[in-house]
Amino acid sequence: MSLTPSTMLSLGTNAPDFQLPDIVSGNTISLKTFSAQKALLVIFLCRHCPFVNHVQQELAQIGKDYAGKDIGIVAISANDAANYPDDAPDKLKIMTQELDFKFPLCY
């Protein structure tokens, strides 16, 4: 993983709303989708990232461990499929199904 400078938001910062399609169901997922949960885990991932490849099984397990509990989980891929063809929605859908994600993956 490359060393990329970033700035952490302050804990407690409100998440901005979003409306993105789930690549498996086609349903629109938004922040309101998770309004009944006490917390929301947002995972930013892609297929071509070596780090994601390293932890993807654990992410799938986290989804299974927390299914039905009071925490929402959503994954978002924001990559450009033209520059990163492995991150195209059809390829991400295959990954989601192979790993049996129990949470939506939005693109």
Can you give the pTM of this predicted structure?
A: 0.89
| Side chain identity, residue 84 | Y
State pLDDT tens for residues 25-47: 999 999 999 999 999 999 999 99
State pLDDT tens for residues 42-77: 999 999 999 999 999 999 999 999 999 999 999 999
Domains annotated on the chain, with CATH: 19-106 (3.40.30.10)
The predicted pLDDT at position 71 comes to 97
pLDDT exceeds cutoff 90 at 12: no
Question: What is the rounded distance in angstroms from the CA atom of residue 91 to the CA atom of residue 85?
Answer: 8
